[in-house]
Amino acid sequence: MQPQTRATSQDLAEQDAGETTGGGPVPPFPDVDLMYIVDLLSPEEKTRYREVRAFLQSRIRAASIDYWNREEFPVELVAELGKYGLGALQTDGTSKLFKGLMYAEVARADVSLSALVGIHNELIVGMVDSLGSEEQKKRWLPGLHALTRIGAFALTEPDHGSDISGGLATTARREDDEWVINGAKRWIGAGTIADFALVWARDVADQQIKCFIVETDRPGYTATKIANKIGLRIMQNADIVLDEVRIPAANLLPGATDFSKANELLRDSRAWVGWQAVGIQLAAFDVARSYALSRKQFGKELARFQLIQQQLAEILGNASVSLALMAQLATIQQDGKLEMVQAAMAKSTTTRLARASVAMGRSLLGGNGISTDYEMGKLFGDAEILYTYEGSYEINSLIVARAVTGKSAFV
């Protein structure tokens, strides 16, 4: 069965023709951006936003479902994302708001591909561009911008996630003109398909955590796909083993010679997940509204039942709150004022609301809500991943509380 299509403004107009609430006809609202956030973009950015959004909804949204079901990576879809400039958002000079709205719209079409686009820009392109050598930039950035090259961000380890800054166990030792890397990484997005991995390892000489470009075809690099996930099934997460992997000394990123640089990147990636949470809520509303308008029970459309209307209004309210919060966060980023507390609050709050919104959407669809044929089941699984990765909900909440109380709950 093909996914339900979105109801258009014309559909809604026909649905509500002649209906009144005591104050005249009820007009359809043409879009779900009730706070006019998109209107804050420049005219050029607004035009591009609409073009990319139309492409994502017409080409990516439905096509992603079979890949999600099969846990398969859609190479051809990624190439098309590159043609629309989604591999160069980090460096193309557009505003933070535009970049965030692009992340939201990719998530609205498919959350897995939004994870790829976000990690690619925030952590891969961002690192190479800001922390890499001129030679590294020349070698990798053109392909990264076109999305013909893929990188992986290898920080998390099997035994260290939230405590990675103090517990990182992967090591790097210098031998003449080479670095030798040993260790293991887990949950590494694109680890099985990437051209290179940005591997964070502890230099045994000075105990500093540094970052290295490790080409994935080097002897000793092994990546195994993590299968049977309940969400983000298109993203090829991997367990990586690095066994005496030798790389040239020039593969050390010169700007990433201590962990403070990782902290800056992780702060920005937390903010990025907030935009994903916006996108998945808009997707949940799209699916729920379309279903409520087309599905009939007891002789009338679900959209005419009070409980259904309440759920639709709450999903859209959650999405609008999240969108407004992220728009303000984009302003803070644009002004160079973003701190970890704001990023953590945005990530924890928006993903909490996303989890609730998608749960309501699943309930609204009844039994059909558990099937990816109707999309909501896919969104339901993906929402759990957003709630957990890039710092779990609980860890981000503790970061916020530490900032406002001055008391740390961490050991």
Q: Could you tell me whether strands 151-154 and 209-215 are parallel, antiparallel, or unpaired per DSSP bridges?
A: unpaired
Q: Could you tell me whether strands 151-154 and 196-203 are parallel, antiparallel, or unpaired per DSSP bridges?
A: parallel
Residue pointed to by tokens 């669809």: 365
Q: What tokens were used for 190?
A: 């694109």
Q: What pLDDT is stored for residue 14 in this prediction?
A: 41
Sign of CA dihedral 315, 320, 321, 323: positive
Measure the CA–CA gap between 38 and 33, rounded to whole angstroms. Answer: 7
Contacts of residue 259, defined as CB under 8 A and 6 or more positions apart, other chains included, come to: 165, 168, 200, 208, 209
SS3 186: strand
CA atoms within 13 A on the CB side of 338: 25
114 — alpha (psi -120 to 50), left (phi > 0) or beta? Answer: alpha
Residue 171 contacts residue 182 (beta carbons within 8 Å): yes
Angle between the 376-388 and 111-119 helix axes, to the nearest 10 degrees?
Answer: 30
Convert 109-131 to b/e letters by CB count within 10 Å (16 or more is b): bbbbbbbbbbbbbbbbbbbbbbb
Q: What tokens were used for 37?
A: 């956030």
Q: What pLDDT is stored for residue 17 in this prediction?
A: 39
Q: What pLDDT is stored for residue 25 in this prediction?
A: 53
Measure the CA–CA gap between 47 and 250, rounded to whole angstroms. Answer: 42
Q: What pLDDT is stored for residue 259 in this prediction?
A: 84
Measure the CA–CA gap between 330 and 56, rounded to whole angstroms. Answer: 22
Measure the CA–CA gap between 81 and 146, rounded to whole angstroms. Answer: 9
Measure the CA–CA gap between 166 and 346, rounded to whole angstroms. Answer: 25
Q: What tokens were used for 360?
A: 């309501």
Q: What pLDDT is stored for residue 258 in this prediction?
A: 86
Q: Which of 256, 319, 283, 38 is nearest to 130 (CA)?
A: 256
What CA–CA distances, in Å, run from 34 to 107, 183, 280, 320? 19, 49, 17, 7
Query: pLDDT tens, position by position, for the chain (411 residues)?
Result: 444 444 443 443 344 433 444 445 555 555 789 999 999 999 999 999 999 999 999 999 999 999 999 999 999 999 999 999 999 999 999 999 999 999 999 999 999 999 999 999 999 999 999 999 999 999 999 999 999 999 999 999 998 877 777 789 999 999 999 999 999 999 999 999 999 999 999 999 999 999 999 999 999 999 999 999 999 999 999 999 999 999 999 999 999 988 887 777 778 888 899 999 999 999 999 999 999 999 999 999 999 999 999 999 999 999 999 999 999 999 999 999 999 999 999 999 999 999 999 999 999 999 999 999 999 999 999 999 999 988 888 988 998 999 999 998 876
Q: Does the predicted model carry a pTM greater than 0.85?
A: yes
Contacts of residue 146, defined as CB under 8 A and 6 or more positions apart, other chains included, come to: 82, 87, 88
